[in-house]
Amino acid sequence: MASASRHELIERAVPRGSSLHYALLYTPRQAQPGLRALFAFQRELTRIPLEVHEPDVALAKLEWWRGELERAGRGQAQHPIAQALAQTLLADHALDRAPLLGLIEGVRLDLEYGLYPSFRELSDYCHRVGSGIAELAATVCGCEDPETRRFAHDLGMALRLFSLLRNVRLHLDAGRLYIPEDELAQAGVDYAQLRGHRTTPAIRALFAQQAARIRDFFASALQRLPAADWRRQRGGVALAELYLALLTEMEAAGFPLLERRIHLTPINKFWIAWRATRRRRLRRDF
């Protein structure tokens, strides 16, 4: 199933200079290999709807991955990412594997949709594909307070929604759209207009509406994080602040998401992540 090495596959999910790379610098050192394997698994699965255009083939790949998780639990994984999961996460038999299976189920449901009728359906997808993985990541980093799971849930929702908005053109080119149909109709925007790759005022307003929802989820996540788990969850805080900063850049540029991608420089990412993980600690110290 895979020709690339384990290192190459994980590097694609957490490339040097990426926001995720800088966020992981602030996670517990012992958790980092498992988190890298987890995010590589998430990337591998969520790219299936974008890269495989035959539904039967895509479903077959998902079922293969379901079986691969079972093989990984027995120490018989074939895929380099599954082998990494087995060595860094699944070896802990107390770890709840439901989020990994939930990711597979979320991608399966995604294959049934080209468009999502309302945010209710999109929210269910994001819960399975984003929040479940974020909650597992929070568990791997260490949770003392049960409220941390709520932090992770909202963080996972925000991260997934952010990725869907930022990559809207990539998804459109693959024949997919992750903006609810009822919100398209309310904004007076149709699918053909989005495929025109030109950000009109109506489309800009639609993107701003999506961005506002993302901000709300990030704000909710940061407010929910208990002080007892602050240090262990600093990586998630850094990632939230990095994507909030990028969201601000996108907004300032007028959301030209159909024409180009907007980036933060590596030095800006490093500074934002460092500042985010120091600010709360300094306030607590004084």
Q: Is residue 9 scored above 80 in pLDDT?
A: no
Nearby residues of 93 by Cβ (< 8 Å), 6 or more positions away: none
**pLDDT tens profile 148-172:** 999 999 999 999 999 999 999 999 9
Question: How far is 16 from 180, CA to CA, in rounded Å?
Answer: 33
**pLDDT tens profile 77-125:** 999 999 999 988 887 656 788 999 999 999 998 998 878 999 999 999 9
Nearest residue to 154 via CA among 120, 128, 127, 136: 127
pLDDT of residue 245: 97
Q: Are 124 and 105 in contact (CB under 8 A)?
A: no
- pLDDT confidence band for 283 (50 / 70 / 90): very low
To the nearest whole percent, how much of the chain has pLDDT over 90?
Answer: 82
Q: Is residue 12 scored above 90 in pLDDT?
A: no
**pLDDT tens profile 211-240:** 999 999 999 999 999 999 999 999 999 999
pLDDT of residue 43: 94
Question: How far is 207 from 187, CA to CA, in rounded Å?
Answer: 10
CATH 1.10.600.10 is held by the domain 6-281:
yes
pLDDT of residue 282: 40
Q: Are 258 and 168 in contact (CB under 8 A)?
A: yes
- Which regions of the chain does DSSP assign to beta strands (E)? none
- Predicted TM-score (pTM) of the model is 0.92
To the nearest whole percent, how much of the chain has pLDDT over 70?
Answer: 95
- pLDDT confidence band for 13 (50 / 70 / 90): confident
Nearby residues of 4 by Cβ (< 8 Å), 6 or more positions away: 12, 80
Question: How far is 13 from 138, CA to CA, in rounded Å?
Answer: 18
Question: How far is 264 from 268, CA to CA, in rounded Å?
Answer: 6
Q: In the numeric block, which tokens belong to residue 149? A: 């799971």
Break the chain into its structural domains and give their ranges. 6-281
**pLDDT tens profile 231-264:** 999 999 999 999 999 999 999 999 999 999 999 9
Question: How far is 173 from 151, CA to CA, in rounded Å?
Answer: 33
Nearest residue to 194 via CA among 203, 185, 186: 203
